[in-house]
A and B are shown apart, each in its own frame.
Chain A
Amino acid sequence: MFRLFKRKSYPEFWKQHIEKVSKSKNYTNYETIRFVALDTETTGFDYDNDRILCIGAIAIKNNKIKVNDSFEVYIKQDVFNKETVKIHGIRRNGNEVKVSEEEALIKFIEYLDDAIIIAHHTKFDITMINEALKRINVGPLRSKQLDTNFIHKKIATENQFKKLFSLDELCKIYNVKMHDRHTASGDALITAYLFLKLTTKYKKNNALNLTELIRTNYYLSS
């Protein structure tokens, strides 16, 4: 009975994740912060029943998107929702090399390192990942998180109270060309472009530091 409340013994990768995030010295200086723009493709929108098909991510550091620091993984499926195939194009038995959910997560957590996650509607992607982490008895993610939607809302002069913006809408507002929409890597790259443009704009009125940026994230940080 007592044991239930005792701290679980975590696998090595998770221990490292916690340590990297909590002990990182990179957060104080904006130039040294590694951001990871991230997107997932899933079988659907139900946190309990749907699954991650693919994770795409790309790193941004010191205002540069680093193509050699990117991540892409496809996950083997037990659950399959043929409705969403139309959107993401990933079939159950497609050509991509697929790995198990656990392997994908471990690889992703290792890639993530101490990075700050940036996504569009971050809550969705993170919740999907956290649900998956729960299935292998770890989680939730300790990484700090940002959302392009909230950074935009912070700097937008109009429509402050508009609900939420879709990725497509933001691309239009910030003139980001949309290639590869609805592939995880493609959306991650678009998110990265958006992030560069947003932070450049944001920088004009504010000193660019992480605390400020995270403050935009009232939704997530609450």
Chain B
Amino acid sequence: MKNTIAERIFDFLKDFPPFDVLNKEQLFKISSNVKVIYIENESFVFKQTEAPHESFYVVKDGAIGLYRTMENDQILVDICDEGDIFGLRPLVQNDNYLMSAKATEESILYAISVEILKEIIQTNDKVNKFLIASFSTNIKTPYAQQNYGQLFANEEIIQANNTGLSDIQTAQYSKNPISCSKTTTIKEAAIIMSTKRVGSILIVENKNPIGIITDKDLRLKIATGLISISEKVSEIMSSPVITFPEKITIAEAQIAMIKHKITHLCITKDGTPNSELIGLLSEHDIVVLHGNNPSVLIKELKRAKNVNTLKYIREKTSNLLTGYIDQKIPIVFISNIISEITNAITIKAIELSIEEMETQPPVKFGWLALGSQGRKEQLLITDQDNALVFEDVPKEKYEETKTYFLKLSKIITEKLNAVGYEYCPADMMASNPKWCLSLSEWKNQFNTWVTKPTEKAIMMCTIFFDYNLVYGDAKLVDKMSESIFKSINSFEIFLNFLGRNALINPPPLGFFRQFLVENNGEHKDQFDIKSRALMPIIDAARLISLSHNLKGENNTISRFQKIIQVEPQNKDLYLSCIDAFKIVLRFRTEQGIKNNDSGRYIDLNTLTKSEKLRLKGCFKPIKDIQDMLNIRYNLSQMM
């Protein structure tokens, strides 16, 4: 029987998680069993400590505030608006309500029986994961290890809706490849290739591929006059051919091409040379699919002779990034590749600059990338932050040496600017005399920052501590790092100052319509993802790894991984921070690509419900790690 009302409810629910991952049947079952409830403004749906109802709720219209009562205070924990779910956890965990739900404007709710959902949970893993995650934003101990999956703040689930990695995608091959028989003459084959405008022709016998001729064969064997064009194709064909079944993945194809040093693979019905030819996969097909290939870019970089080439490669890298983000490739993998390319570009720029100098560098030096590039977390093209350290020289040589490196730095930063990395507006570049220093000067500088931690000094530390040697002498930099740790160890209160800095920006509670619900109830419609979500995690990782004397890791994820080894008791918290970081970083990158900017400020109006939920899931670990830092460094007393 037709059920118009259930269809309308279906249409409403289908856009909101977790209903969006249900199949049609499951969602229709839910929709046709909904109970619709009207709640007046200021009246309660349920109250804290009340026994659970038999249904949970989805907000259809209006808004419901969730409050926790602590002694006499009512603390607003969250506001649910259209499409939000609430009151589910107590039903699944058979527990009383931990919060009160009160309408903050008149609302219409859909009450959904938990029994129907329970059935679905058993068969739909995605829903299951979503629910664990949604609980985690509401309960005190979200990191309880669940053997059936991690928090929603997990990249896996984001990828789940996608086809997965491109490398394990099935490769798209050309169907109906051009072929001829082995008795065809070379001339005839070449004519076929010309008329069909292809670069290769397959030689078949009883439909099975037995050999291939490419443009290269014609060039090497025919044009050189070695073999006459009236000979049969079998004289020059490469044989046997390498064959694969049609389900070949891109990764497999690439490996096979590299291994056999060939550029074409035959696709046959059963994957062996003894079955019917159905297609041809060329290196070109893969390149097209990949947009670009990082190893090709790196190769091109090595051959680069001028800034224009660097610029061209940098632009290609942006395409590569867009492609990777679209394909939902893991963010760690993407940031590794992008920072490798960025590093390679910088190295090339330095090499080109040294060539332009009249003399070779007088002493050993190191070129340092700072900030996000230093942490290898730079995905979008941003401004340059860099510094230079050179070996200590006798006093009389100092001026001359410094002048040399300043001049070199100036050329390098100009080149980087030409490539597309704009000058740092705060002039944190090696071309600034303040940041082009000898080893001893750097040691002093860091020591001053550590022992006199003014607000500005702390800010400098957050930038300069995340340095990464891009070019030059590693020993110089090692010495510098050692000295920093020594300074910190002798002046431990520095960490408390650094900690205070890490807590400057608490994460918001969540989103409400186009507003951010801040802890203090302030509203804004633009979200500063960098300072609100990325920096708190980065700062926390830096602080904790400094406190454990963990050297040699600047990357936030690597830092947390090392911290976990030292503090296994807090593993769950740190893992959730890693997940949150990955999600936020991807988010910023996506936004940056979409709006062609730094991705820092996000217009909340443009976010979908599930994007908001994804982000919101990241706020919880940020809040938790900040709470931990607060206690660990006794920061509440310093504030």
A residues near B2, Cβ cutoff 8 Å: 72, 74, 96-97
Structural contact, B35 and A65, CB atoms closer than 8 A: yes
Among B1-39, those with CB < 8 Å from A are 1-6, 8-9, 31-38
B337 → chain A closest CB, angstroms: 48
B residues near A185, Cβ cutoff 8 Å: 3-5
Structural contact, B106 and A67, CB atoms closer than 8 A: no
B residues near A73, Cβ cutoff 8 Å: 1
Name which residue of chain A comes closest to B106, CB basis: A175
B39 → chain A closest CB, angstroms: 9
Counting CB contacts under 8 A, is B40 at the interface?
yes
Known interface pairs A63-B38, A200-B40; A177-B8 also in contact (CB < 8 Å): no
Counting CB contacts under 8 A, is A6 at the interface?
no
Cα(A186)–Cα(B5), bound, Å: 7
Structural contact, B111 and A58, CB atoms closer than 8 A: no
A residues near B3, Cβ cutoff 8 Å: 70, 72, 185
Count of residues in B whose CB is under 8 Å from the partner chain: 21
Cα(A177)–Cα(B108), bound, Å: 10
Listed stretches A78-86, A165-173, A191-199; interface member: A191-199
Cα(A117)–Cα(B61), bound, Å: 26
User: Which residue of B5, B34, B38 is within 8 Å of A196 (Cβ)?
Assistant: B38
Cα(A200)–Cα(B5), bound, Å: 23
Interface 0/1 of A80-122, CB less than 8 Å to B: 0000000000000000110000000000000000000000000
A52 → chain B closest CB, angstroms: 16
Structural contact, A68 and B33, CB atoms closer than 8 A: yes
Counting CB contacts under 8 A, is A180 at the interface?
yes
A residues near B36, Cβ cutoff 8 Å: 64-67, 192-193, 196
User: Which residue of B1, B35, B108 is within 8 Å of A67 (Cβ)?
Assistant: B35
Structural contact, A72 and B9, CB atoms closer than 8 A: no
B residues near A67, Cβ cutoff 8 Å: 5-6, 9, 31-36
B427 → chain A closest CB, angstroms: 56
Counting CB contacts under 8 A, is A163 at the interface?
no
B residues near A56, Cβ cutoff 8 Å: 4-5
Count of residues in A whose CB is under 8 Å from the partner chain: 28
B residues near A200, Cβ cutoff 8 Å: 38, 40
Interface 0/1 of B190-223, CB less than 8 Å to A: 0000000000000000000000000000000000
A residues near B35, Cβ cutoff 8 Å: 64-67
Structural contact, A186 and B8, CB atoms closer than 8 A: yes
Cα(A85)–Cα(B111), bound, Å: 35
A24 → chain B closest CB, angstroms: 22
Counting CB contacts under 8 A, is A42 at the interface?
no
Counting CB contacts under 8 A, is A38 at the interface?
no
A residues near B33, Cβ cutoff 8 Å: 67-68
Counting CB contacts under 8 A, is A189 at the interface?
yes
Among B266-320, those with CB < 8 Å from A are none
Known interface pairs A64-B35, A193-B36, A193-B38; A70-B106 also in contact (CB < 8 Å): no
Cα(A92)–Cα(B4), bound, Å: 19
Name which residue of chain B comes closest to A179, CB basis: B8
Among B34-81, those with CB < 8 Å from A are 34-38, 40, 61
B residues near A175, Cβ cutoff 8 Å: 106
Counting CB contacts under 8 A, is A43 at the interface?
no
User: Which residue of A64, A70, A74, A177 is within 8 Å of B6 (Cβ)?
Assistant: A70
Structural contact, B5 and A58, CB atoms closer than 8 A: yes
Name which residue of chain A comes closest to B61, CB basis: A177
Chain B interfacial positions (CB closer than 8 Å to A): 1-6, 8-9, 31-38, 40, 61, 106, 108, 111
17 contacts between A and B (CB under 8 A): A56-B4, A66-B35, A67-B6, A67-B33, A67-B34, A67-B35, A68-B33, A68-B34, A70-B5, A72-B2, A74-B2, A177-B61, A180-B4, A183-B4, A185-B4, A186-B8, A200-B38
- 6 further A-B contacts with Cβ under 8 Å, apart from A68-B34, A72-B1, are A67-B9, A67-B34, A72-B3, A97-B2, A177-B61, A185-B5
